[in-house]
Chains A and B, each alone.
Chain A
Amino acid sequence: MKVFAGHLPGLSRDDVEWREATFSAWGESVKVMLPVLHEAQARALCADIRAHAGARLKTMEVARIAAAIDAAIARLLDRDHPLRREAERLLPVVTGYDPETVRLGLTSYLKTFRLPQLKRFLAEDFGNPGVLDAFEPTPKGGFVRAYGPELLLHVWAGNVPGLSLWSLICGLLVKAGSVGKLASAEPLMAGWFASLLAEIDPEIGACLAIVWWKGGDAAAADIFLHEADTVMAYGSNATLAGLRARLPVTTRFLPHGHKIGFGMIGREALDSRKAAAVARLAACDVIRYEQQGCYSPQMIFVERGGPVSPAGFARHLGHELAAAASRHPRRRLSAGDAGAVAAWRNAQELQALDGAATVLGGPGDPWSIVHVESPEPLHPSGLYRTLKLVAVDSLEEVPALVGRFRHFLQTAGVAASPERLHRLAALLGAVGVTRVAALGGMTSPEAGWHHDGRFSLLDLVTMTEIERGAELAAEGFAPYVD
């Protein structure tokens, strides 16, 4: 099976050099052809995108763009659409996530980009989204209009399916000409979405390109980095530092580094009736994307004092992970991944020797839980359903255990009463947590969320203001002036 990745308006398949990447999982393999552009091609492509966006996208009403996105998303949500079928078939092979996780994940993710959600999205950042189309009056007097970048470069990373759509859609909504660099670990979704858009509204399709270069190929990256006026990038801090170092100082850089998520379960959620249900929700967050999302839980803090003890909850969770293994099997791990899981397990087992920890799940099980009774600071897991449960006397202790990793914090999944939810959220926000989610919903951020606490659309635009004074002064030059 061979598929071509990317979206290169104005270039035919024969014009481009392709590099083959092979992915295997679930007993299948797929060859993905990745475009490698020559310098001249890359420069011409950037110039074209910029020009098309200036001539077309910038003059369109945002409603037309949102409608086109909505139509493309509707097709991707339609399980009978050929592209959706292709996505369900190929993404598990490319990313290694189990087919059911990919299917459910796609649907819950894509539905946050339907028209009503896009409108919410716009309203979230712009009190009056009309500022994207025209100068609108402001309360202080005068008028204001928002302009998106002429050329927005996205540098995607990671294998979470469709992650790229997030920033791509943000860019379109602010009418930016967009060039996206595919993540080598999931090089398909962005190209599919761009092609769908081009089919639905060719004028919009001409304003975005999906490209690829080999990670670390500084020369190839530099061409795009210098053409763009805004760069939104994902990856490790080392990757981001490398990109930032090569950017002109005038380029706006919007980095999204890797993050760590965690869960918190209050004693009020731990009675004999609720504990099993809470464990099911936590298991869902762990299984979805094998803890590899920035929002995935790596550790769960469990409060003592409820009818079900932290040790009891650990057993509930173990039961849920074991039960879910047939519906959501864990892929056969690569040597490196198996090594990481084994290293994590070995470290926990050593800790367990002096009774400080209890390990649940055997080496042959596709999950492991370790439960400790003394407080421990936040730490990444071994991924692939390896989770540490830390018992605490009070959830109020948790901010101190996670706060030293402020720059890595993002999502906290909380199961607690309404009053405590708000009290804890205040403490968590103060130490750097930017998203408090329901347990079970950690991997599905709501439409219009503030990714890493930032304004997804507002961060992209610049505002042009007509001051009140300019307006008044203009009156003096009107043809009807007395």
Chain B
Amino acid sequence: MQDEIIRELLAFIDLSDADEAAFEALALKIFAYQFRLNEPYRKFAVRRGRTPLTVRRWRDIPAVPINAFKELTLSCCPAEAAERVFMTSGTTQGVSGRSYHPTLAVYDASMLVHFRQRFMRGRERIRMGILFPDETAIPNSSLAHYLALALRECGTQDSAIYIGADGLDTDRLFAALERAQAQGEPYALLGASYAFVPLLDALAAQGRRFSLPEGSRILDTGGYKGQSRALALDDFYDGLSAAFGVPRSACINMYGMTELSSQLYDDGNAVCPSVKSGPHWMRTRVVDPLSGEDVPEGEIGVIVHHDLAHFNAVAALLTEDAGRIVPGGFHLLGRVDEAAAHGCSVAVAEFIAAAKGQGA
């Protein structure tokens, strides 16, 4: 059964596009598969009154809240049979969400097909500089694996990782950028958004800027996560563009998460917020978080991703990200605001922080 799903998915990813009917057929099939083999998800779906017998449209497939990946083992295969487990970097309560992958074949195919389409844009290979630790250093990081794959499959021989045990190797990176500039060869910088911030600061401190050759591009992902100071989107992309000589339209933001097997991209950040979209084996909805119903196009709600490639866990994921559907995709508007205390009852965040503070 698993083999059949994998085979079908790989074939589906290989298609040039998929219409609504084709997506729906496979989505229902994968829902039935996950319902049968993923016990916590089955219970969740039954509670919602959604079973393969009652669900006829892919939009009715129940989306699991992202927190469930922390609390439950959401896997169709036995957890110990997974080839790889991707884990979220510790968040609010120090519990990691986990995604179990019995094989990385689907993840890798999904990543590569869409990465080539959205970032490589017709180019076979490009010289890359990676601003994220190596996959061997953090094997449970989906981003490390993603970047390793990008480097291996789409990078040139002289591509390199510039974050090691001692942190960011600015000197070596700047030398590589100098070289690319001198040789007139397009260069690609890829990494966590927060890794770019100290780079921008270092360049500003040295009064230095690069003018990378035409065709150069930048990929950032993941936001700042408290690892660097937070910049407004326009300031960030203006900064990147000025520091590296890469137009904002070639600064691409990748939106991905450990709880998915596919990524979403924009087509550059000439204008923020950019329009983001996923591949044809993925759909994004914006819903009212309480009812789970789609909100009208243009209205703000919570983002739901339906990623068929995440076949072993749960394809339909209710995120904590706010967004709105726009022509061509959606706007990602950041985290849904933690409701601040309006009255004088203690807010959840303050309570948890205090409880942690006293070791409770």
Contact = CB atoms under 8 A, between A and B. Distances in A.
Interface in A364-420: 364, 377, 379-380, 382-383, 404-405, 407-408
B346 A260 contact: yes
B81 interface: no
B346 A350 contact: no
Interface residues of A, number: 56
B343 interface: yes
A328 to B, nearest CB: 16
A292 B346 contact: no
Contact of B300 (A335, A341, A364): A335
Nearest to A238: B350
B348 A260 contact: no
A364 B343 contact: no
A401 B322 CA distance: 35
B351 A260 contact: yes
B259 to A, nearest CB: 14
A185 interface: yes
A159 interface: yes
B343 A380 contact: no
Contact of A405 (B67, B338, B351): B351
B345 A258 contact: yes
Contacts of B355: 404-405
Contacts of B360: 377, 404-405
A347 B348 CA distance: 13
B358 interface: yes
A163 interface: yes
Contact of A294 (B65, B72, B344, B350): B344
Contact of A349 (B47, B338, B340, B348): B47
Contacts of B291: 363-364
A459 interface: no
Contact of B344 (A258, A340, A377, A382): A258
Interface string B54-88: 00000000000101100110000000000000000
Contacts of B292: 363
B354 A338 contact: no
A298 interface: yes
Contacts of A334: 339
Contacts of A405: 351, 354-355, 360
A364 B337 CA distance: 21
Given A185-B342, A292-B342, A404-B358, A340 B351 contact: no
A316 interface: no
Given A336-B339, A338-B290, A353-B40, A346 B345 contact: no
B236 interface: no
A256 B348 CA distance: 17
B43 to A, nearest CB: 4
A350 B348 contact: no
B351 A379 contact: yes
Contact of A353 (B44, B348, B351): B44
A350 B336 contact: no
A408 B289 contact: no
Contacts of A236: 341, 346-347, 350
Contacts of B339: 334, 336-337, 339-340, 383
B301 interface: yes
B185 interface: no
A408 B346 contact: yes
Interface in B278-311: 288-292, 300-302
Given A336-B338, A352-B47, A380-B348, 16 more contacts: A158-B342, A236-B346, A256-B344, A258-B345, A258-B350, A290-B343, A293-B343, A335-B302, A336-B336, A341-B290, A346-B67, A346-B68, A347-B65, A353-B43, A380-B345, A380-B351
27 contacts: A95-B342, A158-B343, A159-B342, A185-B342, A236-B341, A258-B350, A259-B345, A261-B345, A291-B345, A292-B345, A293-B343, A294-B344, A298-B345, A335-B289, A335-B336, A336-B340, A337-B339, A338-B288, A339-B322, A341-B289, A343-B65, A346-B68, A347-B65, A354-B40, A380-B346, A383-B339, A404-B360
Top 3 nearest A-B pairs (CB, nearest first) are A292-B343, A342-B289, A340-B339
